[in-house]
Amino acid sequence: MVGRCVRLSRRNVDALLTSLLLPVILMLLFVYLFGGAIETGSAYVTYVVPGVLLLCAGFGAAGTAVSVTTDLTTGMIERLRTMDVGATSILAGHVVASVARNTVSTVLVLGVAVAIGFRPAVAPLRWLAAAGVLLLFLLAVSWLSAAFGLLARTPEAANGYTFIVMFLPYPSSAFVPVETMPSWLRGFAEHQPVTPVIESLRGLLLNTPVGTAPTRAALWCLALLALAVLLSALLFPRRIA
């Protein structure tokens, strides 16, 4: 099932290029158009890269939701079920393929970021910790997007449902410090799932103190993952009934 989903991604060239290149374009846009006007205490490319990495996850997640809904609306799910393929295998194939796509996109974004001035720390343990946080986040949003795909009735609706995942990095510490936001928005930015993930990545990659951010990030990701798996388990039987 994972191999099938990867092959489908490879054949859908337009969607694949969009998920790979759009985060890079957005990073260049923020760095070169807005970076000179935003004060973060360091080079803006250094500040913005963790947020762009999470944008990658959002764009990749949209493709997961669309793929799941497409399988449902074209009769592919019914065909797979006649071969005694379980719901877990079907959805896990989409989720693992999504994580693989996002990993490639992340490596691409990091390569471009280094080329334009991003200089991460080189401590291996910090790299491993950052990779672990990011992979856990990718897994959570991919499963959540699969659940959105089960909830939607058309691929277009599935793409719209994932907007919330793509939107969350903006009202967070991804692009500007939360201290610069209005008080009513600052409270949300400080206590939403994306901010501790970004703060963890930023601290781990730049060798700065992370405090409790990794713990909060892990708890948020595990909670979202559990919610997504539970929602998928409830929705799948109803969609194929």
The predicted-structure confidence for 54-88, as pLDDT tens digits, reads as follows: 888 777 777 888 888 888 888 887 777 777 776 67
For residue 22, what are the contacts with CB-CB under 8 A and spacing of at least 6?
Answer: 59
The more confidently predicted of residues 169 and 21 is 169
Res 123: pLDDT: 82
For residue 38, what are the contacts with CB-CB under 8 A and spacing of at least 6?
Answer: 44, 175, 176
Res 14: pLDDT: 72
Average pLDDT value over all residues in the chain: 85
Question: Which of these, 18, 91, 40, 59, lies nearest to 168 by C-alpha position?
Answer: 59
Q: Is the pLDDT of residue 198 over 90?
A: yes
CB 57 within 8 A of CB 212: no
Provide the domain count of the chain.
Answer: 1
Domain that holds residue 188: 2-240
pTM of the model: 0.88
Question: With helix as H, strand as E and coil as C, how does the chain read?
Answer: CHHHHHHHHHHCHHHHHHHHHHHHHHHHHHHHHHHHHCCCCCCHHHHHHHHHHHHHHHHHHHHHHHHHHHHHHCCHHHHHHHCCCCHHHHHHHHHHHHHHHHHHHHHHHHHHHHHCCCCCCCCHHHHHHHHHHHHHHHHHHHHHHHHHHHHCCCHHHHHHHCHHHHHCCCCCCCCCCHHHCCHHHHHHHHCCCHHHHHHHHHHHHHCCCCCCHHHHHHHHHHHHHHHHHHHHHHHHHHHHC
The residue-averaged pLDDT of 204-219 equals 91
| Dist CA 150 CA 238 (whole Å) | 9
Question: Which segment of 105-109, 125-129, 235-239 scores lowest on mean pLDDT?
Answer: 235-239
